[in-house]
Amino acid sequence: MAGTFGELLREYRTAAGLSMGQLAGRIHYSKGYLSKIENGLKPPHETMARLCDGVLDAGGALVAAARSARDQAVTLDRRQVLVAGTVLGVTLAGGPRPVPDERVLTGIRTSFEHLRELGTQTSPVVVLESLTAQVRTVYALAAENPEPARSRLLLLAARIAEYTGWMSQEAGDDQRALLWTRRASELAAAGGDREIASYALVREAGLALYRQDPIATIDLARQAQLSGRPSTRTLALAARREAQGHALAGDRAAYERALDRAVELHGSAAQDTRAYPVLGSTAPGSVELARGWSLYDLGRPAEAAAVLDRELARLPASSRRSRARFGARRSLAHALSGEVDQSCLTLAETLEDAAHVDSATVRTDLRELARTFGRWHNHGAVREVYPALRRVLRQQG
């Protein structure tokens, strides 16, 4: 095979028996733009590479070539993880407290659940300060109490730390997200439970997914399935994340195998009845939402849009963060399949949720959508929705 992306694209296009104009029509890009890509006059855009990969059945080769050409490797130094004393080195003023009874533990857990519910509907900055204070308080209580209260408090602190990491990611601070996620793993291990440690690897895989790193996504998701004794539910979440990593790499066969495992595991997962709140997304149809997400990454936007249309209709209005995240990707999928009017129609429904939840991860797809709309800047529906899209993209914190 050829060396540059343009040469590789030309080889796959020629092998498929398509003219440049025919391929341009199928991916909804101009022939002139495609010509510049093939001739090395413009760098390949990853979205365009995914569409070409899907149409030409390149099995991820074009996606990998585009990523290599871009040569963007974003890694976070594991040495940046703060030690426990730095992150949570606090004690409660006034000396030791009585051992907290069941009502106190229930109250702390309920307080966290309220913050978690609020986090599904509003900006992460609204809850981050309270979450940080709460995890430190619970950790301090654990440090000054004997067993079995100590372990229960450590596990609750671990769960709060994991969610704090997720909200940090939503606020656009990936470094702090990684720190809190790894701290959650340490707290869980100290509390004698490897479940949160396994799930923390799923969360790290999610961070890798959003920085467009399929290799790290797959590796971390596989580690989550092999480390400790994860529950069936966590195994399902890890398999789902692995599938998304394979889709990002353009490997449809591996994606389908991993997603089939996720579907099977999800169907057999028992309800989590342990003493700390449930891990991961509780949105209905989470595996199918991931399917729609992944079909987009596989360069099949029309299929992705159909799945996301169906699954988003099942999400309750209260799941604003999930509605915004998958709604943005649905609108992007419609646009890239040439359904500009439908993209604008669905985007109008999504922008209100996106404005409320103020999510850095949602804005990633919205920025891509704004770039895509540039090809139809004179389209009436695009002109109508674009000002609202720009307002959401300018929003931060």
Q: What is the pLDDT of residues 61-120, one digit of tens each?
A: 898 888 887 753 222 222 322 333 334 544 444 455 556 778 888 899 999 999 999 998
* Torsion of Cα atoms, 290 then 204 then 46 then 332, to 10°: 40
Each residue of 345-384: pLDDT tens digit?
A: 999 989 999 999 999 999 999 999 999 999 999 999 999 9
pLDDT on residue 282: 54
pLDDT on residue 189: 86
Domain with CATH 1.10.260.40 in the chain: 5-70
**Which of 1.25.40.10, 3.40.190.80, 1.20.1530.20, 1.10.1040.10 is the CATH number of 286-394?**
1.25.40.10
> Fold for domain 78-268?
1.25.40
**pTM for this predicted structure:** 0.78
Q: Is the pLDDT of residue 174 over 60?
A: yes
Could you tell me the CA-to-CA distances from 79 to 11, 176, 182, 184, 186 in Å, in that order? 43, 13, 12, 16, 15
Contact 318, 284 (CB under 8 A): no
Domain with CATH 1.25.40.10 in the chain: 78-268, 286-394
The whole-chain average pLDDT of the chain stands at 86
Each residue of 213-239: pLDDT tens digit?
A: 999 999 999 999 987 778 898 999 999
Q: Residues 247-252: what's their mean pLDDT?
A: 96
Task: Render 144-158 in DSSP notation, one character per residue.
Answer: TS-TTHHHHHHHHHH
Q: Is the pLDDT of residue 173 over 60?
A: yes
Each residue of 298-348: pLDDT tens digit?
A: 999 999 999 999 999 999 998 999 999 999 999 999 999 999 999 999 999
**Which of 3.50.50.60, 3.20.20.70, 3.40.630.30, 1.10.260.40 is the CATH number of 5-70?**
1.10.260.40
Q: For residue 20, what are its two tokens? A: 């440049």
pLDDT on residue 76: 27
Chain-centroid distance of CA 192 in Å reads: 28
> From CA 159, how far away is CA 104, in angstroms rounded?
17
> From CA 160, how far away is CA 175, in angstroms rounded?
17
Give me the long-range contacts of 39-46 (CB less than 8 A, separation at least 24): 39/6, 40/4, 40/6, 43/69, 43/70, 44/5, 44/6, 44/9, 44/69, 44/70, 46/70, 46/212
